A = this chain, B = another copy of it.
Amino acid sequence: MPGARASSVTDQPAIVLVRPQLGENIGKAARAMLNFGLTEMRLVSPRDGWPNPAAGPAASGADIVLQQARVFDSVTDAVADCAHVYATTVRKRGVTKPVVTPEEGARSIHADTGRSAILFGPERSGLETEDVAVARAIVTVPINPDFGSLNLAQAVILVAYEWSKHVALAQPPETDLPPPAPQGELDGMIDQLDTMLDAAGFFFPPDKAPTTKRTLRTLLTKPGWSSQEVRTMRGVLSALANPRQRN
Contacts and interface: CB of A to CB of B under 8 A. Distances in A.
Contacts of A124: none
A225 B149 CA distance: 34
Given A148-B35, A149-B61, A142 B171 contact: yes
A35 B149 contact: yes
A69 interface: no
A216 B201 contact: no
| Chain A contact patch, size range | 35 or more
Contacts of A95: 175-177
A62 to B, nearest CB: 6
A204 to B, nearest CB: 7
Interface of A: 31-32, 34-37, 60-62, 91, 93-101, 103, 138, 140-145, 147-151, 153-154, 157-158, 161, 164-165, 169-178, 193, 196-197, 199-202, 204, 215-216, 219, 222-225, 229, 232-233, 235-236, 239-240, 243-246
